C-alpha cells in the first residue's frame, strides 16, 4: 500500500492501452494504490483515433468488391452506395462503448482516474490542470504520440490521421502525402470507399524498411486497385484554388503537376507527446523528436519516473506498449526485474492486400549473413475464379548457416491473421526443415509456407 509520504504508489499519465494495462495490473493484482490522469478520451490513439476505427474502416472499404465477386460465383446481387453518415454514426457508437469499457475496467481495479492534463513538478509530484497536485512513489508516463504536419506554407489546410474519422462527408477527391503504413492504409481505405485517391511519396517505394519484394507487390496491387500512386513526388506548393477562402485545395507537385483536391491528408510522421510536461526541468532526458529516453526496464534517468509506449519511440505498436506496461509492473511491483523484449515482433499493414511481416527482410538478412530465399507469388483460388488479376506473396528468409527462418513476409488477404501464427514459429527460431515437416492444410494460400522445397535464390 502507499506509504504515508505519498498519495499513491503509482501515478500513470496517459489513459491509452499501455498506461491502462499497467494501472489495472498494479492495482488489481499487486494491491498498489494507483492514480491515472488522461486529458482526452480513455483508450488512447489505438482505440479512439488509430487501430480500432481504422480497422473498422478497412472492413467497410473491403465490401466494395464483394458484389462483383459474388456475381462471379453465381449470386445475383446489385451494387449499392456507401453511406458515410450511417457508418460514421455506428463507428462513434462503438468508440463510445469501448471508452466506457476502459473506464469501467479502471474503476473495477480500484484505480482513481482524473480527467485532466498532468505535468510534473518534481520526481514524485504531478500537477493536474484541475489545480490539484498528487504525489507518488513511482510515476509512469504513457502519453503516446501524435501526427505532425510538415513545415510548409498552408499546411494547416490539410488534415492528419486524427481528423479523418470526423469528416462530415466523404470527399470526391483526396491527396494523401506520405509512404508509410498510415498513408498507404488510408489510401486503400478511401479508395475502397469510392474516393478518387492520389498518393504522393517522396521516396522510391512505399513502406520503407519492409521487405522490398513484399512492399513492391503491395504498391503494384494498390495501383491496380485504383490508387494513383506517385513515387519520388512531394508537395511543392499548396493553397486554396483561385485564392478562395474555401473549396478545393490546389497542389503543385515537385514533378510539375498541378491538381485540385477536396481534401489533402498529411501522413508524414508522428512525434512522441512529451512536450510541455516539465520533464526536462526535472532531469528526464528527451530526444530530438521528443522521445523520452529510457533503459531496458523503461526507466528514465530519474529513478522514480518510467515511460512506455509511443512516447519512448521504440516500437510503436499497441501490443508492444501493453507488454512494456506489464514488464514495468513486474519490475517495480512484483520484484522481478523484467527487460522489455523487442525482438521478432510480428506486425501487419492493413493495405489492400494486407502485408504481414515478422523478422528480417531479405535486405536486412543478407547484410548480416548468407541466406536462401524461398518465395512464391500466385493468383489465389478465390479471386482467380472470379477473374481477378490480384496476386499474393509468401516468402521465407532462411539462414544458410543454421537453417533458421530469419523472416517471414506475406502479402495476401488476411495476412495479419496469418502472420500472427507464423510469428510464433519465427520467434521460436524454427528451421526451414521444421516448417517442411509440417503437413500442409489444403487448399489454402498459407500452405505454401510449408511446401516451398527449393530456394528461389541465394543472397
DSSP secondary structure letters along 144-163: -EEE---SSTTGGGSB-GGG
> Does residue 432 fall inside a structural domain?
yes
Task: Please check whether residues 219 and 357 belong to one and the same domain.
Answer: no
- Return the CATH number at 250: 3.50.50.60
Distances (CA, A) of 126 to 113, 122, 139, 310: 13, 7, 8, 21
Residue 81 counted as domain residue: yes
pTM summary value: 0.95
Q: Read out DSSP for 274-323?
A: -TTSSTGGGT--B-TTSPBP--TTSB-SSTTEEE-GGGG-SS--HHHHHH
178, 179, 185, 189: CA torsion to nearest 10: 60
Of 246, 268, 290, the one marking the end of a domain is 268
| Strands 133-141, 305-307: pairing kind | parallel
139 and 65 in a common domain: yes
What cell does 41 get?
A: 478520451
Q: How many Cβ atoms are within 10 Å of 4's Cβ, its own excluded?
A: 5
- Report the 10 Å Cβ neighbour count for 302: 17
pLDDT classification of 4: cutoffs 50, 70, 90: low
Supply the pLDDT for residue 289: 96
| Domain assignment present for 338 | no
Q: Is residue 22 part of a domain?
A: yes
pLDDT for 245: 84
Half-sphere exposure of 351 (CA within 13 A, CB side): 33
SS3 of 201-265: the string is: ECCCCCCCCCCHHHHHHHHHHHHHCCCEEEECCCEEEEEEHHHCCCCCEEEEECCCCEEEECEEE
pLDDT confidence band for 412 (50 / 70 / 90): very high
Determine the pLDDT at residue 244.
83
Neighbours of 27 (CB within 10 A): 26
342 inside domain: no
**Is residue 356 one of the residues assigned to a domain?**
yes
Residues in the chain: 459
- Mark whether 136 and 29 lie in a shared domain: yes
pLDDT at 382 over 50: yes
Q: What H or E segment, with its residue span, contains residue 458?
A: strand 457-458
> How far, in Å, CA of 344 to CA of 328, rounded?
20
The domain boundary residue, chosen from 289, 308, 333: 333
Backbone φ, ψ for residue 175 (5° rounding): -105, 125
* Short-list 376, 56, 361, 45, CA closest to 210: 361
3-state secondary structure of 436: helix
Q: Are residues 238 and 132 in the same domain?
A: no
Summarised one tens digit per residue, pLDDT across range 228-275 is 999 999 999 999 988 888 899 999 999 999 999 999 999 999 999 999
Q: Is residue 196 part of a domain?
A: yes
211 and 304: one domain?
Answer: no
pLDDT of residue 243: 81
pLDDT at 2: 54
Q: Which three cell numbers stand for residue 294?
A: 529510457
Could you tell me the end-to-end alpha-carbon distance of the chain, in angstroms, rounded to an integer?
Answer: 57
State the pLDDT at residue 1.
43
Domain with residue 394: its CATH number is 3.30.390.30
Mean pLDDT of 101-128: 98
Q: Is residue 96 located within the same domain as residue 25?
A: yes
Phi, psi of 194 (to 5 degrees): 100, 5
Task: Please check whether residue 339 lies inside any domain of the structure.
Answer: no
Max Cα distance, the chain (Å): 73
Active-site position among 138, 257, 342, 442? 442
For the chain, counts of helices (H) and of strands (E): 12, 22
* Number of independent structural domains in the chain: 3
Q: What's the domain range around 316?
A: 8-146+271-333
Q: Please check whether residues 263 and 276 belong to one and the same domain.
A: no
The confidence band for 107, taking pLDDT boundaries of 50, 70 and 90, is: very high
Instruction: For residue 442, indicate whether it is catalytic.
Output: yes
Residues 142 and 160 in one domain: no
Whether residues 28 and 130 share a domain: the answer is yes
What does the pLDDT look like over 165-178, one tens digit per residue?
A: 999 999 999 999 99
Query: Does 331 score more than 80 pLDDT?
Result: yes
- Among 268, 298, 317, the domain boundary falls at 268
> What are the backbone dihedrals phi and psi of residue 358, each rounded to the nearest 5 degrees, phi first?
-150, 140
Residue 192 to residue 200: CA distance in whole angstroms: 18
Residues 281, 138 share a domain:
yes
Q: How does the average pLDDT of the chain come out, rounded?
A: 97
For residues 262 and 287, membership in a common domain is answered with no
- Any residues with CB less than 8 A from the CB of 163 and at least 6 apart, and which? 265
Q: Are residues 308 and 416 in the same domain?
A: no
Amino acid at each position: 500500500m502507499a506509504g504515508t509520504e505519498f498519495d499513491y504508489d503509482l501515478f500513470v499519465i496517459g489513459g491509452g492501452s499501455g498506461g491502462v494495462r499497467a494501472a489495472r495490473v498494479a492495482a488489481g493484482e499487486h494491491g498498489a494504490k494507483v492514480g491515472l490522469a488522461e486529458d482526452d478520451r480513455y483508450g488512447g490513439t489505438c482505440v479512439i483515433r488509430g487501430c480500432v476505427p481504422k480497422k473498422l474502416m478497412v472492413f467497410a472499404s473491403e465490401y466494395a468488391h464483394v458484389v462483383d465477386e459474388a456475381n462471379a460465383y453465381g449470386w445475383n446481387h446489385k451494387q449499392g452506395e456507401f453511406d458515410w453518415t450511417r457508418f460514421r454514426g455506428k463507428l462513434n457508437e462503438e468508440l463510445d462503448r469501448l471508452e466506457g469499457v476502459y473506464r469501467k475496467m479502471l474503476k473495477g481495479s480500484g484505480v482513481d482516474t482524473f480527467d485532466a492534463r498532468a505535468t510534473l513538478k518534481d520526481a514524485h509530484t504531478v500537477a493536474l490542470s484541475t489545480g490539484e497536485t498528487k504525489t507518488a512513489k513511482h510515476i509512469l508516463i504513457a502519453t503516446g504520440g501524435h501526427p505532425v504536419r510538415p513545415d510548409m506554407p498552408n499546411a494547416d489546410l490539410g488534415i492528419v490521421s486524427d481528423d479523418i474519422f470526423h469528416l462530415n462527408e466523404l470527399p470526391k477527391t483526396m491527396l494523401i502525402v506520405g509512404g508509410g503504413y498510415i498513408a498507404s492504409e488510408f489510401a486503400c481505405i478511401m479508395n475502397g470507399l469510392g474516393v478518387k485517391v492520389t498518393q504522393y511519396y517522396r521516396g522510391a517505394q512505399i513502406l520503407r524498411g519492409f521487405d522490398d519484394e513484399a512492399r513492391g507487390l503491395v504498391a503494384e496491387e494498390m495501383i491496380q486497385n485504383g490508387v494513383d500512386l506517385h513515387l519520388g513526388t512531394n508537395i511543392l506548393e499548396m493553397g486554396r484554388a483561385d485564392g478562395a477562402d474555401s473549396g478545393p485545395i490546389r497542389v503543385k507537385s515537385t514533378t510539375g503537376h498541378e491538381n485540385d483536391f477536396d481534401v489533402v491528408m498529411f501522413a508524414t510522421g508522428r512525434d512522441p507527446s512529451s512536450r510541455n510536461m516539465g520533464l526536462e526541468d526535472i532531469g528526464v532526458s528527451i530526444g530530438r523528436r521528443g522521445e523520452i529516453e529510457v533503459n531496458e526496464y523503461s526507466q528514465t534517468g530519474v529513478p522514480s519516473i518510467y515511460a512506455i509506449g509511443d512516447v519512448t519511440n521504440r516500437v510503436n505498436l499497441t501490443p508492444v506498449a501493453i507488454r512494456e506496461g506489464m514488464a514495468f509492473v513486474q519490475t517495480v511491483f512484483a520484484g522481478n526485474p523484467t527487460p522489455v523484449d523487442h525482438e521478432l515482433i510480428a506486425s501487419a499493414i492493413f493495405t489492400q492486400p494486407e502485408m504481414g511481416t515478422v523478422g528480417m527482410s531479405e535486405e536486412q538478412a543478407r547484410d548480416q549473413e548468407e541466406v536462401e530465399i524461398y518465395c512464391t507469388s500466385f493468383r489465389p483460388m478465390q479471386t482467380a475464379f472470379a477473374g481477378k488479376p490480384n496476386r499474393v506473396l509468401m516468402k521465407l528468409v532462411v539462414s544458410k548457416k543454421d537453417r533458421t527462418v530469419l523472416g517471414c513476409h506475406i502479402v495476401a488477404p488476411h495476412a495479419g491473421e496469418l502472420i500472427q501464427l507464423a510469428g510464433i514459429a519465427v520467434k521460436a527460431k524454427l528451421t526451414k526443415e521444421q516448417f517442411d515437416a509440417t503437413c500442409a492444410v489444403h487448399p489454402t494460400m498459407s500452405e505454401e509456407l510449408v511446401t516451398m522445397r527449393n530456394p528461389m535464390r541465394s543472397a
